[in-house]
Structure 1
């Protein structure tokens, strides 16, 4: 039996090898979209990713005969520890993620080492995979391997789910679903009537975001998000640093007619963020902007033409969520952006998600729009 040595990432070279492994192991998968290497490096670098400001993180590399054959991150998010246990996180809960391995034995060794690190830190339960925050790429893909992910969604080999389940003690805790639909079609008549009624209500206003006030608008949207999602399973609030970081990342792909805010009596109470699928232009670049990638990306960003639009985030303030207005505002936001996406960007397909499988309100909206589930991610749990 070969010897597998697992060591913490301790140098720039280690960190570079940690990042590079994903490209080597996934490069032959036609549906894996290589992230830009600069962003992949930023994700795992303290001082670059503000997640490190409120989390203890241990990046680990597995080597056999000196060659890197696997990787994993183990982390304890102090903000997650402070959440109510009934919402999924809570005291004693650690996480691992960013798993890559050449075979099952290596995967099991890495998972065991991550569990040991968490036990040493006093954790008694693990939720995984989270790569690394719940706001980044949570869950293991179990359905939808036959097509590429949209922007900011994960894509892992199908075999990884089997390896996690065979590691011992892991059971599904929650499924995260994405829904797709043909946005060239008008919505069902009932939805059209709901939208038309809202448009006649003078107390409701649907407006574009104002990119000239980008920081202010980003703060508003994330403030609504923190309120709207605060009771959701797995919720961890955004910090001020993460709000600024998210704004910086989103800014190049923010288009005013794709992100809408709903106001009621002049108060912002809901929003919907839609992003053109950046992965459509990133896929051919193979993770590199040089020598010609920069020019292609900049040209695309001037006026994207895409097949797919992704809705990564939407929310209605918590106090309205049990009212009929919540769904009305959601349908009004969706319909306004649908029309803009088709007319201004040539889009034909929409993807909404991820959505928790037991989020009855959002699942009902997806069903009313006659969508179909196209991807499923599972977050597993285990008692340590």
Structure 2
């Protein structure tokens, strides 16, 4: 008999975080999440999400063994910004048993209904600002940094539970042996044209990191605000994310566009640390994982273009092309083999076309589902 219980103790939280390690132990493409990071993310008082919203974690077990997990998420900032009564599910993992999904979703939907939700959307962990989407195409390669991964049968179970597609998210792959170098060749000309308009592009100043983060938070919340499902990040949320990224950030891959000294856009690439984390057993940095992380950083040969955006009034001036051209140049200099641009909404035609124009290939697709409750 399948039993679903809320997570109330530290021991249950540990079981919740560790369940995927057992589920995917024979999957060569599985990358474990770091235990410390997941624990803090899910613990009130640790992550700033909990200051404005709530969630409930559930574990499913059968004959004393954990067989699934899910989080029911009430994101108050999302509902306030979008004028909706949405609920969300995330951190969803199950054994190959449809009944487990049914039981978990039932628990999550019941909790969300009690909170006044009319719709359940997912998977998102906690919003589209964090990891989200269910992999539906592209199982041949491991996920890159801060992207999701799941068994193919997850999609079958979610669809059979009455969920419909809300949107798809595209991941593009750009290889160093097959890209269009036109943006790279045009970079200097475009920089000069932009300079005549008072627009400059520079790399991040790590010595003034907190000030940079403050300015980029404002740009992020304005440049991405029309994306489907967007919710502005609070200063604390953006700073929390930036603090984590600072540990791995290469400032040459963090580019800022300014107009008369004021930030109007930015591009952020991060090294694909999943190339290392895939070898860190059960997401534990100690006792040996920390050495794999430190010693392996120099061998990372991939990046993820995690964000690239410009304020609406300054689009189509060539800023985006300079971002791409500079990124290509740095990849060549640093012997980066591949770059993933992700994720991009399927209906973001301008951005998708721009990546297609530099010979990027769509190689993974993620789906966000929704259902009325």
Per the normalisation by structure 1, the TM-score is 0.92
RMSD: 1.6
1:77 match: 75
C-alpha displacement at 1:282, in angstroms? 1.2
Gaps of 5+ in 1: 85-89
Is the contact between residue 126 and residue 382 of structure 1 (CA under 8 Å) also seen in structure 2?
Answer: yes
- Report runs of 4+ in structure 1 exceeding 6 Å deviation: none
Trace 1:148-227 onto structure 2 (pairs within 5 A).
148-168=142-162, 170-185=163-178, 187-189=180-182, 191=183, 194-201=186-193, 202=195, 203-227=198-222
2:329 match: 339
- C-alpha contact 2:181 2:325 (8 A) present in aligned 1: no
1:375 and 1:263 map into 2 onto residues whose CA distance is 33
Measure the CA separation in 2 of the matches of 1:277 and 1:193. 26
Q: Does 1:232 align with 2:194?
A: no
Cα offset for 1:133? 2.3
Alignment size in residue pairs: 368
Aligned equivalents of 2:158, 2:250: Cα separation in 1: 39
What CA distance in whole angstroms lies between the structure 1 residues aligned with 2:308 and 2:15? 36
The offset of 1:254, in angstroms, is 1.1
Please report how far the alpha carbon of residue 50 of structure 1 lies from its aligned counterpart in structure 2 after TM superposition: 1.6
User: Where in structure 2 are the equivalents of 1:1-384 lying within 5 Å?
Assistant: 3-84=1-82, 90-102=83-95, 103-168=97-162, 170-185=163-178, 187-189=180-182, 191=183, 194-201=186-193, 202=195, 203-286=198-281, 287-301=283-297, 304-321=298-315, 324-325=316-317, 328-344=318-334, 346-384=335-373
Shift of 1:137: 1.4
CA distance in 2, matches of 1:378, 1:172: 7
Is this contact kept in 1: 2:187–2:326, CA < 8 A?
no
Could you tell me how far apart the structure 1 residues matched to 2:21 and 2:127 are?
Answer: 21
Ranges in structure 2 where 5+ consecutive residues have no aligned partner: none
How far did residue 221 of structure 1 move? Answer: 1.7
Offset of residue 367 of structure 1 = 1.8
SS in 1 for 2:269: strand
Distance change (3 Å), C-alpha of 1:257 and 1:188? closer
2: CA distance, partners of 1:293 / 1:305:
16
Deviation, 1:196, is 4.1
1:185-242 per-residue CA deviation (whole Å, 9 max, x = no partner) reads: 56254x4565343122233322110101111112222221111001111111111211
TM-score by length of 2: 0.94
